[in-house]
Amino acid sequence: MKTIRLTMAQALVKYLCAQHTEIDGVEVPLFAGTFGIFGHGNVTCLSEALEQVQDQLPTWRGQNEQSMALAAIAFAKAKKRRQMMVAISSIGPGALNMVTAAGVAHANRLPVLLLAGDTFANRLPDPVLQQVEHFNNPSITVNDAFKAVSRFWDRITCPEQILQSLPQAIGTLLDPADCGPVFISLCQDTQGIAYDYPAAFFDKRVHRIRRARPDRLEIADAVALLKKAKKPLIIAGGGVLYSGAESELAAFAEKHNIPVVETIAGRGVLVHTSPMNAGPLGVIGSSSANALAAEADVVLAIGTRLQDFTTGSWSVFQSPKFKLVGINAARFDAAKHFAQTIVGDARESLADLDAALKRYRAPDVWSNKAHALYGEWNQLIDERTKPTNTELPSYAQVVGTVNRKAGIKDRVLTAAGGLPGELTKNWKIKSPGTFDCEFGFSAMGYEVAGGWGAKMATPDADVIVMVGDGSYLMLNSDIYSTVLTGHKMIVIICDNGGFAVINRLQNFKGVPSFNNLIKDCRIERNVTVDFAKHAESMGAISEKVKSLADLERAIERAKKADRTSVIVIDTDAHTWTPGDAWWDVGMPEVSTRDTVNTARKAHMVGKKKQRVGV
């Protein structure tokens, strides 16, 4: 057997370089690059290996391990999980910075390979710099924290272990059902140990995403339900995008006359004007979608994990005839809430359903109602997003202005705060797959970092990052990264003076404003951050605008600019687009405040609508 003598770190990197994938029939590297910050846990061995292949596997240096991993996640999302990035860190705090990003990837079923340095396998130098010692278990390091947020976790203590570990890691990253973050802990002494690896281990491998075909009996059971349905409804989730089934879903819905509503992750499955589009569903959804869900008798939930913001904490479905069919590559998601399951790829499942349904069409009275409700919703958002001469524009008006200036292939991206709701409701999708709202984990700070990764994945379109002042202050340093690397994006900072959407929830539940808006925090002086100057100091082109007309002109300038542009606009902290479903949050059972007691009574009324069974 032919062998190659390499250090463990060199072998790991060589193996990653040998992995390829197909995207639309074109063969590309499975790993498009790495994001890395080096420290004593990886700079002497792993960086030595990466430096030798930098033209094949480029390494990008970010400003924070969390933001680099978030950028990698946004890249994978934009690539529909068919190509991905690696995020690497040293030991200790550098590694732990990536835990939040791992949570984002885990919640959203997105692939990212996380490689972190670790303490010495031989333990001779213990305790090393940045080591957290556990008195009763010396085998534990901070890297064990990733076990709760990883689909696959391993620690390499001997160089030959990667022969078994790496193929399993790749399999997890590419598995439609089990996709998520892979974390591999690399003991720093082990990284430098040489081993005679089989040469065949490094043979070129071209991967293709598996498409699981549904069981024929499960298809037959679903068809039997659908053929009896008078008010069927399709919920399109992110899995439709990852399956590449956007056009198939649109054709299926039109042929069988079934309205389609979208989850947050599924926004962008259909364009805004698609004939069967009935709007986004749930807590930050549309009144049209929520009204249809309340009457639906059979619901096809395709490629969604049915998060509480989609289901209104399971209050949006009110029909006594309600039946749920879960179509998902992951059995875990397909079987949720007593659903009749179809375990399989979205595209293949739709094809089999279509063939079995034959000429079935839902009643016109139902689809006509969907069209009417969606028309009313569009009138509302047109009204909410149109420019006015108000002193402070609303989020909806800013979203509408940006949307009107966005190109047909431009990608909009947001994550936390009030913008997810306002974008989900008010953004009109111009091309499928151009909407990224990270709301599975709702990670503040994803926005700017995610924009960097998304731009790497979609170089031929503008990436428009919409971020509130709260999220921006949490994580913004990759504006500097994009200026350095030439990955231009457009960042719109909506400054409403703090965490305004949480202030809204706080007030809605009877609690006075407290510790959310800056003015309501424990402060000595109310200082306004000059976000434009802050961004300018990182090399971005930046400006602050006051009016929506000024915003339009600023976007035009940003589109022509040669690097990242940041546009700041003050926005109203108290004006929100309606259409929300009920949402279950913890409420005090007793309180000395009448406002809280009143809010609890109203909350309990909503709770009576919560579905707990079939």
Measure CA 520 to chain center.
31
Tokens matching residue 96:
């732990």
Residues ≥6 apart with Cβ < 8 Å to 125: none
* C-alpha to C-alpha distance for 271 and 225, rounded to whole angstroms: 28
pLDDT at 353: 98
- Which tens digits make up the pLDDT trace of 56-81? 999 999 999 999 999 999 999 999 99
In this predicted structure, the answer to whether residue 614 has a pLDDT above a threshold of 90 is: no
In this predicted structure, the answer to whether residue 93 has a pLDDT above a threshold of 80 is: yes
Closest CA to 471 of 486, 457, 491: 491
Contact at 8 Å (CB) between 516 and 499? yes
In angstroms and rounded to an integer, the radius of gyration of the C-alpha atoms of the chain is 25
Mean pLDDT of 284-290: 97
Phi and psi at residue 188, to the nearest 5° = -70, -30
CA angle 423, 426, 431 (to 5 degrees): 80
Q: The dihedral of CA 335, 340, 344, 347: what is its sign?
A: negative
* C-alpha to C-alpha distance for 190 and 187, rounded to whole angstroms: 5
Stated length of the chain: 614
Q: The dihedral of CA 405, 407, 408, 412: what is its sign?
A: negative
pLDDT band at 492 (very low <50, low <70, confident <90, very high): very high
Contact at 8 Å (CB) between 252 and 319? no
DSSP designation for 509: T
Closest CA to 126 of 137, 138, 116: 138
500-to-360, 373, 447, 506 alpha-carbon distances in Å: 47, 30, 17, 10
Contact at 8 Å (CB) between 472 and 501? no
In this predicted structure, the answer to whether residue 152 has a pLDDT above a threshold of 80 is: yes
Tokens matching residue 36:
């890395």
Mean pLDDT of 256-278: 98
In this predicted structure, the answer to whether residue 34 has a pLDDT above a threshold of 70 is: yes
The mean pLDDT value of the chain amounts to 97
CB neighbours (10 Å) of residue 134?
11
pLDDT at 390: 84
In this predicted structure, the answer to whether residue 22 has a pLDDT above a threshold of 80 is: yes
* C-alpha to C-alpha distance for 68 and 86, rounded to whole angstroms: 9
- Which tens digits make up the pLDDT trace of 581-607? 999 999 999 999 999 999 999 999 999
Mean pLDDT of 301-307: 97
- Please report where in the chains the tokens 């059979």 appear, as a residue: 298
Q: The dihedral of CA 266, 228, 368, 282: what is its sign?
A: negative
- Which tens digits make up the pLDDT trace of 308-319? 999 999 999 999
511-526: b (≥16 Cβ within 10 Å) or e: bebeebbbebeeeeee
Mean pLDDT of 212-235: 97
pLDDT at 366: 98
Measure CA 93 to chain center.
24
Closest CA to 198 of 483, 414, 1: 1
* C-alpha to C-alpha distance for 362 and 257, rounded to whole angstroms: 5
Contact at 8 Å (CB) between 10 and 193? no
99-108 vs 65-78: helix crossing angle, rounded to 10? 20
In this predicted structure, the answer to whether residue 613 has a pLDDT above a threshold of 80 is: no
pLDDT at 168: 98
Closest CA to 493 of 392, 398, 559: 398
- Which tens digits make up the pLDDT trace of 417-461? 999 999 999 999 999 999 999 999 999 999 999 999 999 999 999
pLDDT at 580: 76
Contact at 8 Å (CB) between 172 and 179? yes
Q: According to DSSP H, which parts of 358-488 are helical?
A: 364-385, 395-405, 419-426, 446-457, 469-474, 478-485
Structural domains of the chain, ranges and CATH numbers in brackets: 3-207 (3.40.50.970), 216-376 (3.40.50.1220), 387-570 (3.40.50.970)
- Which tens digits make up the pLDDT trace of 532-542? 999 999 999 99
Mean pLDDT of 225-253: 98
Helices (H) and strands (E) in the chain, counts: 24, 23
- Which tens digits make up the pLDDT trace of 511-535? 999 999 999 999 999 999 999 999 9
- Which tens digits make up the pLDDT trace of 199-212? 999 999 999 999 99
Sheet of 19-23, strand order: 26-29, 19-23, 205-207
216-228 vs 346-357: helix crossing angle, rounded to 10? 60
Percent of the chain with pLDDT over 70: 100
pLDDT band at 391 (very low <50, low <70, confident <90, very high): confident
> Against a cut of 0.85, is the pTM above it?
yes
In this predicted structure, the answer to whether residue 191 has a pLDDT above a threshold of 90 is: yes
Q: Peptide bond preceding 387: is omega within 30 degrees of 0, i.e. cis?
A: no
